[in-house]
């Protein structure tokens, strides 16, 4: 029988904050954020990057141009994909914002709790970003259609229910097995589910369409990469500290399900009539991406034949040395409103 997990006490005077006693989960700390003594250096590094990535959606310009383009230049298929994929991204960030504290309540490392708190804040910013896009680009009568796209789309509804249930299982029964599955679900959500959506918006940008939406997505993608890294590190620490909880078979099984879901959804929402991206090539991309993400966990490829990213334009857009990269990504790479981080959290 799987072991039930105990939620952290808010204040535990009998706790031990010594680094030698600290573990990623199942520790016994006082509840004090002693950030001058940290066990996990990757959390310190991520903190500095995440704070340096601070941005707000109101600073992204050009959304009025996107509003004109949405109705005047996008094809029927591109419009439908724009709405459906935006709806899925809205759901993903919504559920992350609300759910992350449930998992953080069982993490017994203050430095990791800290970066999870920043992640939850960033997910909330992403939700506000989508609201800004809808308010600026989409007519008011279409906004609820996008928010609730899943009400009339069976495939998207099943996707949302699958993810939601994975998290709900842990909330309802916090145990070793449900926690590990929930952590893996977080990793898959951040590292796979988001990225096909990003690929669609990047493809529009590659065809000089919806540039402001693309800039907003680029900020979000930059944040999500740090979130992928957080959960990859948490999974690795669980493997090292709690090998009885770690289960590679679960990771592989859930990754396979995620890939199958992404392929089905992409073929459904993209079809074969959008220039530069379609269901067939997205199938190749998703398998390649899955291998890439498994490598972060030092797990062998699930799809040995998927050795190359078929979407070369994604690499070009994310390369600031390329012409289009300079046009599109330079602002995203350089944009920060935080002050210098020299000396911050420095010990």
Contact residues for 204 (Cβ-Cβ < 8 A; gap 6+) = 78, 82, 210, 213, 214
Write out the catalytic residue numbers. 130
Q: What is the rounded distance in angstroms from the CA atom of residue 335 to the CA atom of residue 329?
A: 10
The CA-CA-CA angle for residues 207, 311, 133, to 5°, reads: 50
Give the length of the chain.
347
Nearest in space to 98 (alpha carbons), one of 131, 123, 126? 123
CA–CA separation, 193 and 164 (whole Å): 13
Nearest to 211 by CA among 61, 76, 320: 61
- Burial (CB count within 10 angstroms: exposed 0-12, middle 13-18, buried 19+), residue 316: middle
- Burial class of residue 10, CB neighbours in 10 A (0-12, 13-18, 19+): exposed
Q: How far apart are CA 121 and CA 105, in angstroms?
A: 16
54 vs 72: CA distance, rounded Å? 33
Which ranges of the chain does DSSP label H, i.e. alpha helix? 41-52, 63-72, 76-104, 110-137, 140-147, 154-172, 176-188, 194-206, 211-241, 248-270, 279-296, 312-317, 323-328, 330-334
């Amino acid at each position: 029988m799987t072991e039930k997990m105990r939620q952290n006490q808010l204040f535990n005077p009998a706790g031990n904050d010594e680094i030698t006693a600290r573990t990623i989960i199942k520790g016994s700390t006082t509840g004090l954020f002693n950030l001058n003594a940290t066990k996990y250096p990757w959390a310190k590094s991520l903190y500095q990057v995440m704070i340096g990535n601070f941005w707000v959606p109101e600073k992204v310009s050009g959304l009025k141009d996107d509003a004109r383009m949405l109705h005047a230049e996008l094809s029927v298929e591109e419009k439908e994909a724009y709405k459906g994929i935006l709806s899925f991204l809205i759901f993903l960030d919504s559920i992350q914002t609300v759910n992350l504290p449930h998992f953080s309540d069982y993490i017994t490392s203050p430095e990791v709790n800290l970066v999870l708190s920043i992640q939850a804040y960033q997910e909330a910013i992403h939700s506000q970003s989508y609201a800004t896009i809808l308010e600026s680009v989409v007519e008011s009568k279409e906004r609820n259609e996008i928010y609730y796209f899943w009400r009339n789309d069976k495939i998207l509804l099943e996707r949302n229910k699958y993810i939601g249930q994975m998290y709900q299982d842990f909330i309802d029964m916090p145990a070793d097995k449900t926690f590990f599955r929930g952590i893996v679900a977080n990793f898959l959500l951040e590292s796979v589910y988001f990225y096909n959506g990003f690929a669609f918006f990047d493809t529009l940008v590659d065809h000089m369409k919806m540039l402001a939406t693309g800039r907003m997505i680029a900020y979000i993608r930059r944040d999500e990469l740090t979130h992928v890294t957080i959960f990859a590190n948490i999974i690795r620490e669980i493997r090292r500290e709690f090998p009885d909880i770690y289960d590679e078979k679960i990771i592989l099984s859930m990754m396979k399900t995620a890939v199958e879901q992404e392929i089905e959804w992409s073929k459904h929402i993209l079809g074969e009539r959008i220039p530069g991206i379609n269901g067939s090539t997205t199938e190749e991309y998703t398998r390649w991406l899955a291998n890439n993400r498994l490598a972060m966990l030092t797990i062998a490829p699930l799809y040995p034949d998927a050795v190359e990213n078929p979407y070369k334009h994604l690499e070009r857009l994310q390369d600031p040395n390329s012409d289009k990269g300079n046009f599109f990504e330079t602002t995203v790479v350089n944009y920060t409103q935080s002050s210098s981080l020299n000396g911050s959290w420095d010990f």
